[in-house]
């Protein structure tokens, strides 16, 4: 396993919805000096969605987003294990498989919001090196570091919700949720 602690590997959902709603630059800003990585399986999902949503091209074409095309045995075996556990008959969740496999084999911090994939990551986190976070936790970290403000993230969250992105609260609920979860003290 290589030391990937300086990298964040993102799933399709955050990259897609932040791009669709015009907030992709926030992810770049929050990542700061850390590399932003997407596995090839996420790039494939985004490329397929570019037909209906051309704005998604900005994710796969961004010079600050590295597409990881790993094909070594450790990665392939980890991907296959996650694929067996996550991918349904329609082929959904392949992006999550790539994210989890990169986290497990490279030590990248994975940013994944999907509940089922996070549960599997939680089970896997018993092994050293798998670090899991959510998009909201990254945003809360940025608030604590003074990079973002609560009103800005409230607006961002409400905007994502209006674009059908699932968050664990409704419109106007970010501040209360973040305090209840112990992520922010306001």
Domain residue limits, the chain: 7-133, 136-180
Rounded CA-CA distance 132/186 in Å is: 25
Average pLDDT of the segment spanning 31-46: 94
Rounded CA-CA distance 124/149 in Å is: 33
State pTM to two decimals: 0.89
Residue the block writes with tokens 């799933």: 11
Residue 142 clears pLDDT 70, i.e. is over it:
yes
The fold adopted by the segment(s) 7-133 is Rossmann fold (3.40.50)
Q: Which range is most confident: 21-25, 89-93, 118-122, 182-186?
A: 21-25
Long-range contacts of 44-47 (CB under 8 A, 24+ apart): 44/94, 44/95, 45/12, 45/94, 45/95, 46/12, 46/15, 46/16
Residue among 74, 70, 98 nearest 1 (CA):
74
Q: Give pLDDT, residue 164.
A: 85
Residue 100 clears pLDDT 60, i.e. is over it:
yes
């Amino acid at each position: 396993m290589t030391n990937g602690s300086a990298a964040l590997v993102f799933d399709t959902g955050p990259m897609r919805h932040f791009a669709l709603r015009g907030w992709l630059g926030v992810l770049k800003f929050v990542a700061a000096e850390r590399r932003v990585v997407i596995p090839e399986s996420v790039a494939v999902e985004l490329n397929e969605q570019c037909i209906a949503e051309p704005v998604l091209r900005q994710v796969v074409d961004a010079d600050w987003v590295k597409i990881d095309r790993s094909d070594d045995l450790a990665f392939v075996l980890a991907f296959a294990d996650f694929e067996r556990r996550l991918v349904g008959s329609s082929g959904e969740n392949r992006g999550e498989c790539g994210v989890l496999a990169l986290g497990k084999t490279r030590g990248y911090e994975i940013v994944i919001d999907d509940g089922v994939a996070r549960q599997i990551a939680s089970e896997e986190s018993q092994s050293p090196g798998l670090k899991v976070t959510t998009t909201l936790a990254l945003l809360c970290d940025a608030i604590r570091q003074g990079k973002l403000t609560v009103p800005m993230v409230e607006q961002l969250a409400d905007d994502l919700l209006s674009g059908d992105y699932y968050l664990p609260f409704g419109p106007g609920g970010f501040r209360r949720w973040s305090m209840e979860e112990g992520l922010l003290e306001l």
